Every structure is written in C-alpha cells, then in structure tokens.
C-alpha cells in the first residue's frame, strides 16, 4: 500500500480491569476528584450537549486566569496536556536545528518529533539524574523540559529554568508542569519576563481527572496566537462541554486538592524512607511517584512478583540507564502499606535464597 505512515508509538502504561488491584503504574491521583466536581457532574444539563462547546472555553480559561494571575488571552486548553504539548511542538518547532530535551524524560517527546519530522537531540542526564545544560549546543530549534521530570521525579529550581530562558532567547522553551503541584515552583511566575517561555499543565494528576482529558498551555500573547491557530487548523472543540464544566469545578476547589495532594506528598516521603530501609535506592521525588532501584534484586523480578499479586507498577526495560528501576505511583497510605509489605517479603525471600 502506498502512503502509509511508519511510526513507533508511545507505549502507555496498561489499564488492567481487575476488580481488586492496586494500580500504581500511570501516575493517576490516589484520591477521587473533588466533591464539587462530582456534584457538577450530577447536575449537568445533558440538553446542552446538542451544542458545540465554546471555542475558547471562556468559563474555564477565565477561572484559570484568575487562579494563575495571567490574562485569559494567554491560555489555550486541550484534550489533556498531551494534546497541548503536541500542538506546541507543531507550533514552535519549525526550524532546521534540533529541539533539545534530556535523554531520560517523558517518552512522548521523541514520538512527537518523529511524527512531526522535527529534528531532536537528547542531552544525557548527569550522575545525579540532573540535566547538564552546558551540553546544549549553540544552534538549536527549541528546548523541552518536564519540571519535575518524569520518570525520574527530580525537580529543577526556577533559577535553572531562568538560565535556560536567558541563554536561548531566540527559541521557545516548553516547560511541562504535569507534576508541579507535588513539589517545585511553577514557571508561571516568569511569564512576564521571558517571551520564549511556554508552560503546559494538566488536570490529570493534581486534580485527579486523568479520565476527563483536560490540559492547558500558557505563554505570552504572541505564542498563544500561534498555538491557537494550529489548534483551530486541527480540532477547535477539543475540550467538550462536560469536560469544561468539570475542570472548572476542580479549579474552584483548591482547598480540597491541597489537602489530598498534601497527603500524597506525605505518603511519598514515608514510602521513600521505608523502601530505602529495605535496600532500595530512591531518587528524590517532587511528583506523585518515585523511581527506585533495589541494590540486589532485579526490577523485572519485582515487577512480575507485584503483578502476580495484582499490584501494577511500571518499569522501563528498554531504557538502559533506568532499566533496573521501578516507577511506583503514590497511592493511598493503605495501598502503599500493602505494597511495602509485599516488597519487604520479596526482598527477604531473595536474600535468603542467596545465602
């Protein structure tokens, strides 16, 4: 057949459908969405669905504009931040020079570069899993930085982001803030100062709405005009009416989310300490997951053992540098106690076998 696209797709974490399981493989939030979101869902007037959603999602963008202290003209909504990121890649990366991102980061970046024929270059993370910005060549087509990074969980301070923005003023720097509410400072504070900054955010993680698919991007008016033009050349109504209403309700319940996400951070710190005690090396995480490697027990064996016990985590056997690490999303404290117990039992069993 002539004309068929050849592309290696992004491989998402599996979505098993067991009635009893601990699903900590795709960094979903451990808690339900806010009660205000659920009430809005119940009260939603289905008759409205006859109509298309508003082109600019004005209700949602104006609530976000108030919350973030930026103009509505600077916000573009999308079907999850994956959608906004894909639009941003197409909108901002059209030069002959490579777009740069770390070699260990969100797997979709290489996929979009391949899909949209964008040249790219991966910069190796240093021994502590931090990006070495001095390795960025002079002539580049743009920069993408997940902050905090995934799947390492490691966050960069705003001073590092500023350094990047200052050193590369002629290209767009995309900062992917999917996990920013679990640690770290948002680069939104830098928007007034740097016209080459574009930030993407999502309701999937900190607002516990992964299944709703709503994300947004923020940048100055010039960048927003370009990304909106690309969005409108492709799928203008990507955030539907129901999704907009529910995301709006989530935006209006910061107190609930602060409390739930605070619990996740607490559980993350507790789990990191506990698994360190049983021989894991845990990278310092500012997200709702940890990346951890056991000193003696191979990740694949732990992964299989957990799976047999209906605990689903993620690991990346094809990524050499982190092939022996497990990525564990932070569930509720009760779930993580079960996981810790299983991990302790398995590690002990392997250690006894080795004696």
* Interface positions with ligand PMP (CB under 6 A): 80-82, 106, 146, 150, 176, 178, 202, 204, 210, 215
Q: How far is the CB of 233 from ligand PMP (least distance, A)?
A: 20
**Closest separation in Å from C-beta 205 to ligand PMP:** 7
Q: Which is nearer to ligand PMP, 11 or 49 (CB)?
A: 11
Q: Give the CB-side neighbour count of residue 84, counting CA atoms within 13 A.
A: 28
Q: How far is the CB of 235 from ligand PMP (least distance, A)?
A: 14
Report the residue number, 161 or 347, with the smaller CB distance to ligand PMP: 161
Query: Is the CB of 212 or the CB of 339 nearer to ligand PMP?
Result: 212
Q: How far is the CB of 2 from ligand PMP (least distance, A)?
A: 33
- Between residues 210 and 350, which has the closer beta carbon with respect to ligand PMP? 210
* Nearer Cβ to ligand PMP (305/315): 315
Rg over CA atoms, the chain = 21
- Closest residue (Cβ) to ligand PMP? 80
Nearer to ligand PMP, 204 or 285 (CB): 204
CB of 281 to ligand PMP, least distance (A): 22
**Minimum separation from the CB atom of position 306 to ligand PMP (A):** 20
- Cβ 146 to ligand PMP shortest distance, Å: 4
CB atoms within 10 A of CB 185: 17
Nearer to ligand PMP, 144 or 265 (CB): 144
CB 328 within 8 A of CB 274: no
Rounded to 5°, angle at Cα 122 from 117 and 123: 155
When the beta carbons of 34 and 202 are compared against ligand PMP, the nearer one is: 202
Residue 295, C-beta contacts closer than 8 angstroms, at least 6 positions apart: 279, 280, 281
d(CA 157, CA 136) in angstroms, rounded, equals 18
Least distance from C-beta 305 to ligand PMP, angstroms?
Answer: 25
């Amino acid at each position: 057949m002539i004309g068929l696209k050849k592309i290696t797709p992004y491989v998402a974490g599996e979505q098993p459908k067991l009635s009893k399981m601990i699903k900590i493989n795709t960094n979903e939030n451990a808690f339900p969405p806010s009660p205000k979101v659920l009430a809005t869902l119940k009260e939603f007037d289905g008759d409205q669905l006859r109509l298309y959603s508003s082109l600019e999602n004005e209700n949602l963008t104006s609530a976000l504009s108030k919350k973030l202290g930026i103009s509505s003209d600077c916000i573009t909504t999308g079907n999850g931040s994956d959608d906004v990121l894909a639009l941003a890649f197409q909108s901002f990366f059209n030069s002959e020079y490579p777009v740069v991102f770390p070699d260990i980061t969100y797997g979709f970046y290489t996929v979009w570069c391949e899909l949209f024929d964008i040249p790219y270059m991966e910069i190796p993370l240093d021994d502590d899993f931090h990006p070495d910005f001095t390795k960025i060549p002079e002539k580049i087509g743009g920069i993408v930085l997940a902050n905090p990074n995934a799947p390492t969980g490691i966050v960069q301070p705003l001073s590092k982001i500023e350094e990047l923005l200052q050193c590369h003023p002629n290209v767009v720097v995309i900062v992917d803030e999917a996990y920013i509410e679990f640690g770290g400072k948002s680069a939104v504070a830098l928007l007034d100062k740097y016209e080459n900054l574009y930030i993407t955010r999502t309701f999937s993680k900190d607002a516990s709405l992964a299944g709703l698919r709503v994300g947004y991007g923020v940048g100055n008016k010039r960048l927003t005009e370009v990304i909106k033009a690309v969005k409108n050349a492709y799928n203008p109504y990507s955030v539907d009416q129901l999704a907009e209403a529910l995301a709006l309700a989530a935006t209006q319940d910061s107190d609930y989310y602060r409390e739930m996400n605070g619990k996740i951070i607490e559980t993350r710190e507790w789990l990191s300490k506990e698994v360190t005690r049983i021989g894991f090396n845990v990278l310092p995480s500012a997200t709702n997951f940890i990346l951890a490697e056991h000193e003696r027990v191979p990740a694949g064996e732990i992964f299989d053992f957990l799976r047999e016990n209906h605990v689903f985590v993620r690991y990346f056997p094809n990524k050499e540098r982190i092939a022996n690490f497990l990525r564990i999303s932070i569930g509720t404290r009760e779930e993580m106690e079960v996981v810790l117990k299983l991990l302790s039992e398995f590690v002990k069993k392997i250690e006894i076998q080795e004696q």
